[in-house]
Amino acid sequence: MQYIPNIIFAILLILAIGYFAKNVKKLIRNIKLGRDVDVNDHKSERFKNMMMIAFGQSKMVRRPISGILHAIVYVGFIVINIEVLEIIVDGLLGTHRAFSGIGSIYGVLIGIFEVLALLVFISVTVFWVRRNILKLARFWKSEMTSWPKNDGNFILYFEMVLMTLFLVMNATDIPFQNMNNGNVISQFIAPWFSGMSEGTLHIIERGAWWVHIVGILIFLNYLYFSKHLHIILAFPNTYYGSLKPKGQFNNLESVTNEVKLMMDPNADPFAAAPEGEEMEEPSKFGASDVQDLSWVQLLSAYTCTECGRCTSACPANLTGKKLSPRKIMMDTRDRLEEVGKNIDANSGEFKDDGKQLLGDYITNEELWACTTCNACVEECPVSINPLSIILEMRRYLVMEQSAAPVELNNMMTNIENNGAPWPYNQMDRLNWKDE
Amino acid sequence: MTIKTMEQFMAEGKQPEVLFWVGSAGSYDDRAKKITKAFVKILNKANVDFAVLGAEESSTGDVAKRAGNEFLFQMQALMNIEVLNAYEVKKIVTCDPHSYNCLKNEYPSLGGKYEVYHHTQFIQDLIASGRLKVEGNLYKGKRITFHDPCYLGRANSVYDAPREVLKNTNATIIEMKRNKRTALCCGAGGAQMFKEPEKGDKDVNVLRTEDALETKPNIIATGCPYCNTMMTDGVKAKEKEAEISVLDIAELIANSESL
């Protein structure tokens, strides 16, 4: 009988980790639907970027208020998770505060946890106020309705409740309070429960303990469905983020081959491909759906935590155009999820659903509003590049569909005919000299 | 003005010190041509042995690439690279940040590897090495604010060169609230220069001009022919063209020296 709580705990733990692992597998499968891209270079530079940008939060603090508050929540999350280790050990072995034997250092640790728990609670409350009372513009853009809006708040509620439970659990733990070592915050909460019997306190303490750990396990499994995935994916995403100058757009190799062939006077356009060098089916130019994007771009879509720093710096969005770089990332993730579910429902094969990222999620109007100014790329605290997706979709529109705005087609015709975006004769290029 | 083409240098059996990539705007756009000439005057004054390609120059293809036409971009790039490599060009300077970015970052993997400078970097070097002295007091006491071109700033992290050069005008340099890394685009990039903007509640160049007006400037300094057009139009839209002029850094330096 006495092992029932341990068994229940073990079952819950296995279920939670199992379900999480299943979703992580799905996540990896979905990301791998993207095109392959070589990012195995410059390992030390990439590692440095990850340590600076993700671990060190270097880009977060560029906006000091949200940056510092975020740093508190981030440090709190990492440090307080040490306590979760003890909780798991206690849960499995039926011990109570298994680590308390390590001596006075235990009190120091718990003391730090308690202070951080309070700071996290305060920070998260400020975040909630910024979102819901102060209504910061970037949280109230048109893409931030329904689920994205609720998701943002749910995460904050989760954290408030978890921190509260942690402090209540400590406050109602009579032996711990009597130890009077490490109860730096909970000692002020304990009086709220004064006058209650030891039995009642024990029930509250156990209740808080159980709800706290079950809450953590639920939160773990909430991640996959939430923008909160960034707590994990920020690391790989900053590792695989571009190392090139932001202005450098990739040159499509498939195009280079064709252009070289076109420009080679000795090339025989009707020649069969050389033996053993069978010409590959020319791939699609640009992207109309998620499978046409690179897996790093898909990883970025799952990494995006919808903070909207990109959108708040986007010149198109600031002047009322439909384009929002954040929406580009959200749409990419939504469509990728839809494709993933389609694959699940059709026993591992994607069945054409008559939909695609371009048109059904992202409109031409959004794509053509981009000035390629890189403000969104500069802003992203986790090295996401929405511009690269916009460019790939423009490439599809222009090279596969000839669907550029008519003025741009004129401009491109001019370049083709006379080497300038305007209809001037190339022979007149030096006329300014004598004007 | 002394202007020689690569062809002329070749005929003389000589190599210039640097190739001045004029760019399409600098060659054909009336406003941008003034910037081109101002820069040439600076090069002449500093005795820089430079060449232009003239009729052998063609669009870098930058704007086609940003519009999504990778074919056209690579056609242009490969043609230009053929010309540049035939002349054994090593060093290029340009007044257009878009050409600068394209030549510097996107040509190398297609076979065009050059040392590329934006004209503000080049002028900064001329001043630093003592080849160019800027001494006039024409702009003393004037308030100048510098608008960072996206393709020089964020795209290539060049923020200091234009500011260092501007200091030589003896004017007061005031930063806009959004500057350097957080500078707002003028609205011309990504092929926007050549099309009508999408529906919205304001034009980007007007918003950026408002940023500039907050600094109460006498002059808005630019380092890109497209930014120049956009900011000039913005100033007109705000009906401030009588009080505020929009000038390229090359023009400011050339004017200071009464070139």
Residues B96 and B10 grouped into a single domain:
yes
Across the interface, of B24, B53, B189, the residue whose CB is closest to A372 is B189
Q: What is the pLDDT of residue B135?
A: 87
What CA–CA distance (Å, rounded) separates A52 from A296? 19
Q: Is some CB atom of chain B closer than 8 A to the CB atom of A45?
A: no
Reported confidence tier of residue A127, pLDDT bands at 50, 70, 90: very high
Closest residue in A to B192 (Cα–Cα)? A371
**Model pLDDT for residues A187-202, shown as the tens digit of each residue:** 999 999 988 999 999 9
Residue B252 has pLDDT above 80, yes or no: yes
Residues A332-344: pLDDT tens digits?
999 999 999 999 9
Residue A10 and residue A99 share a domain: yes
Is residue A47 situated within a structural domain? no
* Structure confidence by residue, pLDDT tens digits, B131-149: 999 988 899 999 999 999 9
Point out the domain boundary residue: B81, B103, B126.
Answer: B126
- Whether residues B41 and B155 fall in one domain: no
What is the rounded CA–CA span in Å between residue A281 and residue A277?
A: 12
Q: Tell me the sheet residues that pair with B172.
A: B143
A434 within a domain of the structure (yes/no): no
> Is the CB of residue B225 less than 8 Å from the CB of residue B35?
yes
CB of A149 less than 8 A from some CB of B: no
Global pTM reads 0.95
The beta-carbon neighbor of A395 closest among B55, B70, B197 is B70
Q: Which of B55, B63, B189 sits opposite A426 (nearest CB)?
A: B55
Residues 6+ apart with CB under 8 A from B40: B1, B3, B20
Same domain (yes/no): B138, B50 = no
> In this structure, are B141 and B109 located in the same domain?
no
Indicate if A227 and A325 belong to the same structural domain.
no
- How much is the average pLDDT of A309-324? 98
- Asked whether residue A270 is domain-assigned, the answer is no
Mean pLDDT over B239-258 rounds to: 95
B52 strand-pairing partners = B5
Question: Does one domain contain both A200 and A287?
Answer: no
| One domain for residues A93 and A125 | yes
Question: Per the domain annotation, does A185 fall within a domain?
Answer: yes
CATH code for the domain in which residue A293 is found: 1.10.1060
Contacts of B205 in chain A (CB under 8 A): none
Closest chain A residue to B181, measured at CA: A378
Contacts of B70 in chain A (CB under 8 A): 251-252, 255, 285, 395, 399
Shared domain check, A216 and A85:
yes
- Asked if B166 and B118 sit in the same domain, the reply is no
Chain A contact present for B2, CB below 8 A: no
Q: Which of A205, A240, A275 is the last residue of a domain?
A: A240
If contacts are CB pairs under 8 Å, which of residues 97-126 in chain B contact chain A? 101, 104-106, 109-110
Domain range for residue B53? 4-126
Same domain, B109 and B155: no
pLDDT at B1: 84
Chain-chain contact of A259 with B78 (C-beta, under 8 angstroms): yes
| Nearest in space to A20 (alpha carbons), one of A223, A303, A233 | A223
Choose one of A207, A240, A273: the last residue of a domain.
Answer: A240
Q: What mean pLDDT is reported for chain A?
A: 94
Return the minimum-mean-pLDDT range out of A106-115, A255-264, B199-208.
A255-264
Which of A261, A429, A431, A435 is the best mutation test for B, with the most CBs of B within 10 A? A429
Residues of chain A neighbouring B33 (CB-CB closer than 8 A): 432, 435
Q: The domain containing residue A374 runs over which residues?
A: 253-265+283-426
Specify the number of domains making up chain B. 2
Is residue A420 scored above 60 in pLDDT?
yes
ipTM over 0.85: yes
A230 and A289 together in one domain: no
Q: Which of residues 45-84 of B touch A (CB under 8 A)?
A: 52-55, 57-59, 61, 63-72, 74-76, 78-79
A161 within some domain? yes
**How large is the average pLDDT for residues A115-125?**
97
pLDDT value of residue A103: 83
Task: Write out the H or E segment, with its range, that includes residue B246.
Answer: strand B245-248
Residue A158 domain-assigned? yes
pLDDT of residue A45 exceeding 60, the answer is: yes
Contact B105 A408 (CB under 8 A): no
Q: Which residue of B has its CA nearest to A425?
A: B55
Question: Does A275 have pLDDT greater than 60?
Answer: no
Q: Is the pLDDT of residue B165 over 60?
A: yes
Instruction: Please tell me the predicted confidence (pLDDT) of residue B136.
Output: 83
Based on the domain organization, do A221 and A84 belong to the same domain? yes
pLDDT for B66-103, tens place per residue?
Answer: 999 999 999 999 999 999 999 999 999 999 999 999 99
End-to-end CA distance of chain A: 100
| Residue A354 in domain | yes
Check whether residue B120 and residue B71 sit in a common domain. yes
| CATH of residue B72 | 3.40.50
Same domain, A101 and A233: yes
What is the reported pLDDT for B183? 98
Give the residue from B108, B126, B144 where a domain finishes: B126
Is A286's Cβ below 8 Å from some Cβ in B?
yes
Same domain, B113 and B138: no
Which of B126, B156, B186 lies at the terminal end of a domain, its last residue?
B126
Shared domain for B232 and B149, answered yes or no, is: yes
Instruction: Count how many domains chain A has.
Output: 2
Contact B99, B26 (CB under 8 A): no
pLDDT in tens, B11-46: 999 999 999 999 999 999 999 999 999 999 999 999
Q: Are A290 and A340 in contact (CB under 8 A)?
A: no
Decide if pLDDT at A261 tops 90: no
Looking at the predicted structure, is the pLDDT value of residue A323 above 80?
Answer: yes
Instruction: Give the pLDDT mean for A230-236.
Output: 97
Question: What is the DSSP secondary structure assignment for residue A91, as one 8-state letter?
Answer: H
Q: Are residues B166 and B68 in the same domain?
A: no
Residues B215, B147, single domain; the answer is yes
Residue the block writes with tokens 């009988």: A1
Quote the tokens at residue B105. 């970052």
Minimum mean pLDDT range among A346-350, B88-92, B238-242, B255-259: B255-259
Q: Which residue of A has its CA nearest to B24?
A: A420
% of chain A exceeding 70 in pLDDT: 96
pLDDT over 60 (residue A273):
no
d(CA A401, nearest CA chain B) in Å:
11
- Is A85 part of any domain? yes
Say yes or no: A215 and A261 in one domain.
no
Q: A98 and A225: one domain?
A: yes
Q: Which two tokens stand for residue A248?
A: 């450098």
**Weakest-pLDDT range from A176-190, A226-240, B237-251:** A176-190
Does B117 lie in the same domain as B165?
no
How many angstroms separate the Cα of A428 from the Cα of each of A25, A127, A202, B132, B190? 61, 60, 91, 31, 26
Judged by CB atoms closer than 8 Å, whether chains meet at A371 and B76 is answered as no
Q: Is B115 left (phi over 0), alpha (psi -120 to 50) or beta?
A: beta
Residues sharing a CB contact under 8 Å with residue A27, sequence separation 6 or more, in sequence order: A224, A229, A302
Mean predicted confidence (pLDDT) in A174-185: 91
| Same domain as A257, residue A127 | no
Asked if A370 is an interface residue toward chain B (Cβ–Cβ < 8 A), one would say yes
A206 and A299 both lie in a single domain = no
Is pLDDT above 70 for B190? yes
A416 interaction partners in chain B (CB closer than 8 Å): 72, 75
What pLDDT does residue A265 have? 75
Confidence band for A377, pLDDT divided at 50, 70 and 90: very high
- The pLDDT tens digits of the residues spanning A77-105 come to 999 888 899 999 999 999 999 998 888 89
> What is the mean predicted confidence (pLDDT) over A56-60?
95
Q: What pLDDT was estimated at residue A271?
A: 64
**A256 with B157: Cβ contact below 8 A:** no
